[in-house]
Structure 1
Amino acid sequence: MADTAMTGTDAERRLARLEERVRMLEDEREVTRLILSYGPLVDSGSADEVAELWEPDGVYDVDELLMRGRKQIAAMVRSDAHQGWIAGGCAHFNGAPHVTVSGDEATAIGYSLMVVNRPEGFTLRRATAHHWTLRRGPEGWRVVNRTARVLDGRPESPRLLADGVAGRPA
């Protein structure tokens, strides 16, 4: 009868691989939860909490606005324009992102829809492609850069998506 018992070294290698796989899954889950928290936070007007999703010097680049640092991101949420969206009824819906983790760095891509309340009912205001770059630090995962481009036929929007799936920077 063949001896099928694992040696200590085999068991240690298998355990190390398993721990690595679990860490990767946990990282992907944490990054996904961070990204999916954006919509509820921004729609509730939680300016400081939205800003805390980013690194202190993180960048949020939207077609119509470039924000650098938490102070500018929080100011966007507090702005009259954004508060008007909230008062009128809006939802920033983020689809589940495609996340690629490499050590303490991650790239994610995905879509968002902004739905707004109008007198005639809810309507889609915009559909947007997003490319996120994130880093794990002392505070956990935070956004280093988020680039968002409306999906209106411009070539840069689908390019953001393709670069994100490939793990390339925006």
Structure 2
Amino acid sequence: MHTCDEETTTDLDVAALAARLQRMEDVLAITQLVARYGPAADLGDAGAVAGIWAEDGVYEAQPFGRWVGHGPIAGMIGGGHQEMIRAGMAHVLTPPHVEVDGDTARAWNHALNLRWDAGNDRFWVARLSANEWTLRRVDGRWRTVKRVNRNLDGADEARALFAGIASTGG
């Protein structure tokens, strides 16, 4: 027979375990969402890329542009991006560091833009950027509210995006 204290302790253990499992599932879902960007962009699938964002989501990739909402984000992929894809461009994103807080989250990672150089039979890194992702749970699924992408070209602004990782202590 269990005492009241034993049942309370067991309930607390189960609740703590459930919370840990939910956090792990959230981190995995966000990691998978971020990982979808490169293949979807390289495929030129504008709808799949736009679907990574919330309806009102923002993608800032200076100096190239700022797109708000599914239509403009899809248009970025469906437009001039297609020519670069056909010329041998690839998006490679590193696994993100993810911090979840209920139905919101932040993530940070690097992104590399690789380009094919047929004349020299090699790929080269055309761009390396810092990324900060702000996400929220929408209808039970994680979506990007805002992605800020800045060239790591020595400017303080790009490195400052990673200050969020240092401040989390995680």
Question: TM over 0.5, yes or no?
Answer: yes
> CA–CA distance in 1 between the matches of 2:123 and 2:138?
39
Deviation digits for residues 140-165 of structure 1 (CA, Å, limit 9, x no counterpart): 00000000000001100010011344
1:132-147 pair list within 5 angstroms? 132-138=133-139, 140-147=141-148
Distance 2:59 2:19 in 1: 31
* Structure 1 SS opposite 2:153: coil
Indicate the residue corresponding to 2:73 in structure 1: 73
Q: What amino acid is the match of 2:70?
A: R
Deviations 1:69-106 (A, max 9, x none): 01000000011x21111101121000010100000000
C-alpha root-mean-square deviation of aligned residues, in Å?
Answer: 1.4
Corresponding position of 2:47: 48
Cα deviation, residue 38, structure 1: 0.3
What residue is the counterpart of 1:22 in the other structure?
Answer: 21
| Aligned residue in 1 for 2:114 | 115
Letter in 1 for 2:98: V
Deviation at 1:139? 5.2
The one-letter code sitting in structure 2 at the alignment partner of 1:75 is G
Residue ranges of structure 1 left out of the alignment (5+ in a row): none
Quote the Cα distance in structure 1 between the aligned partners of 2:112 and 2:160: 18
Question: TM-score, normalized by length of structure 1?
Answer: 0.91
Q: Secondary structure at the match of 1:39?
A: helix
| Identical-residue share of aligned pairs (%) | 36
**How many residues are aligned here?**
162
1:34 maps to 33
Whole-angstrom distance in 2 between the partners of 1:108 and 1:160 = 10
Whole-angstrom distance in 1 between the partners of 2:167 and 2:141 = 24
The answer (yes or no) to whether the contact 1:98–1:165 under 8 Å persists in 2 is: no
Instruction: Return structure 1 stretches of 4+ with deviation > 6 angstroms.
Output: none
Q: Which residue of 2 aligns with 1:159?
A: 160
State the Cα deviation string for residues 9-48 of structure 1 (Å, max 9, x = none): 1111000000000000000000000001100000001100
Unaligned 5+ runs, structure 2: none
